Structure 1
C-alpha cells in the first residue's frame, strides 16, 4: 500500500506491498508511505499523519465469516508519518482477515488527543464470534486508548453495547469504524450496528441510528 501526495492511494491485491509512485487527482504525486497493511482511517496531529492499519489476520483461530473463512492474528498497527519518516508506533493490534490477508477487519480509525491514540477496532459480528476467536481477540469490537511505546487499555466495549442495547433493533452485529475526539468524549460509528455512539467516562450511549435505506445501484437495502 502506498499513500501519495495529491490525495491518491494505491495498493496491490494483497493490500500490503509497495507499488511505487501514484497519480493523484491533480497530477503526479510523490509517495509518502509504503508497506502499509490494509490502511483505513487517518488523523493529522502535530504535523504528523497517523494511519490505522487493519492488518492481515494471522494463523488463527479461524471462524467462518460472511464471505468465507477468516483467521485471527496480531498484525494490526498504527503508523505515524512525520518529516519524511514512517514508523509503526503501535504494533500487535488484533486483526482478522481471509487466509490470503485480504478483507481485513482490525484497527479501522485513529484519533489523536494529547499524544494518546484512540482507536476503533472492528469485529463484523457478535460476541459469540469474538469468543470463538480466542482470548487474544478480546480487543476486537472495542475502543482502545494507546500511549505509543508505553501502554494500551480498553476504553469501551462497543460490541458489548450493541449486544446489550441493539440501538437499531435489527440483527446484533458490531463493526466499530470511524472515531473522533471531542472535549472529554469520543464519538464513534458502528458500521455493523448502524449507530453513532458517544463514549464518556467509559460509558457508551447512542446518539443516532441509521435506518436501512434503498440504494440506487442495485435496489437492495443496506
Structure 2
C-alpha cells in the first residue's frame, strides 16, 4: 500500500557545501556534516567508473551547524582532510560519514572510489580508512584501513574497488564495533573502535538484470559517476547483465537486525534498489524492494524506516529529483516528499524534534545544502 503526503515546511540550514555526504547529531544536539571536498591539484589516479582520473587534494572537511541558535553560522571544525575528485569537482570521495560514540568521541569515514592498488601513489593518505578526529587540534588518527582490506581479501570476488560510504557505531556489542558499508567492495565490514578484528560481516549479492535499459549517446553528464563508461555505447548490448548492489547506508532496527540500502551499479536501473536485512546469525534477506538509487536510511523511535532516494530516475537521465519514503512496520509505504526542491539528496537523520534533516544537492561542488523538513499530515 502506497500513500502520499503533500504538505511540507522546508528550511535551509547550510548552503554552498562541497559534495556533502553524511549527517550526524552530536551528544550536545548540534549537527555535523561531512564534506567530501573537491579534490585538488595533486597526483591523480584512475576512477573505478572508467570516466577519467581523480585528482588528489586536502579539501575535505567536517562542518558544524549549531541547532537552536539564530545568529550562528555553519563552521568548518575539521579541515585539510584528503579528497579526490574529477577536475570539475564532481565524483568526489573524501569525508563521507561521521558518528559520535557514547563518550562524545567523533569518528569519520573516508571514501576512496578507486582500486586500492593505486593508493600508494598519493603518499601517506587516510583515504579509504576510518579515523578518530579531534576538533580541538584539527587532527585525526587512523582506526582501520577499509581499502586495504578490500585489496587483500576482496570478499565479493569481483573487481577490486573500495569506497567506504557509511557506518554505524554498535554499542550493544561486548566491544564497541563499527559496522561499515563499502559501496565499492559491496560488503559490510566490522571492526572494533580500537581498530582490532577487522573482518567482513556480510557480502551483498549481485543481481541479474534482464533486458536492461542503457543510456543513449545523449545521456546527460550531470555527474561522471552516473554517466556510463566509454564502452557502454556499443551496438551489441547484452540482454542480461549482472549488476553490483552498491551498499550506501546501514542502520540498526529495534529488532537488533541491520538494514542496508543499495544504490545499484550501472546502468542504475529504476525500481531495482533494495533494502537488505541481516539478522543476528548473519542471514541476508530482502526486506523491501522496488526503489531507485537509495542513498540513506533512518529509523524513528516507533520503528518506522525512512528511505532516501538519491534520484527517482536513473542518474544518467539528468533528472535530479529525489524522494523521502516512509516504510511502516506493517509494510505500508508513504512518499513524504518527492521533488519539490529535493534535489539529489545524499544524507538523512531524524532530530529530537522529529523533523527530518537532509543533505540536499549532494555530490555536487559548491552548491550542497543541509535542509530541515517538517512533514504536515
Same fold, TM-score > 0.5, yes or no: yes
List runs of 5+ in structure 2 lacking aligned partners. 1-5, 214-239, 245-377
Name which one, 1 or 2, has greater alpha-carbon Rg.
Answer: 2
2:173 is aligned with 1:189: no
CA contact (8 A) 2:46 2:114 kept: no
Partner of 2:65: 81
Structure scoring higher RCO (CA < 8 A, sep ≥ 6) equals 2
Q: What is aligned with 2:98?
A: 110
Deviates more, 1:118-127 or 1:171-180: 118-127
User: Is residue 2:18 matched to residue 1:37?
Assistant: yes
1:98 maps to 2:80 = no
Structure 2 residue aligned with 1:127, among 116, 123, 133? 116
SS in structure 1 opposite 2:83? strand
Query: Distance between the aligned counterparts of 1:177 and 1:63, measured in 2?
Result: 19
| CA pair 63-194 structure 1, distance change in 2 beyond 3 A | same
The answer to whether the 8 A contact 1:118-1:179 is kept is no
TM-score by length of 2: 0.49
SS of 2:64's equivalent in the other structure is strand
| Alpha-carbon RMSD | 1.8
1-side partners of 2:208 and 2:30: how far apart? 39
**How many matched pairs?**
196
Distance 1:27 1:171, change over 3 A: same
**Cα offset for 1:211?**
1.4
**Superposition pairs of residues 108-187 of structure 1, within 5 angstroms:** 108-113=96-101, 114-132=103-121, 134-136=122-124, 138-150=125-137, 151-183=139-171, 184-187=176-179
* 1:77 Cα offset (Å): 0.7
Q: Does 1:50 align with 2:32?
A: yes
TM norm structure 1 = 0.82
Alignment partner of 2:195 out of 190, 194, 202:
202
Provide the C-alpha distance between the structure 2 equivalents of 1:171 and 1:127, rounded to a whole number of angstroms: 11
Distance in 2 separating the partners of 1:99 and 1:155: 30
> Secondary structure at 2:17's aligned position in 1?
coil
For the residues of structure 2 that align with 1:26 and 1:140, how far apart are their CA atoms?
41
Which whole-Å deviations, capped at 9, do the CAs of 1:185-211 have from their partners, x for residues lacking one?
A: 111111111110111131211110011
Shift of 1:67: 1.2
Partners of 1:192 and 1:127 in 2: CA distance: 10
What stretches of structure 1 of length at least 5 have no aligned partner? 1-24
Give me the whole-angstrom Cα distance separating, in 2, the residues matched to 1:153 and 1:119: 10
**Alpha-carbon deviation of 1:215?**
5.2
Distance 1:215 1:77 in 2: 38
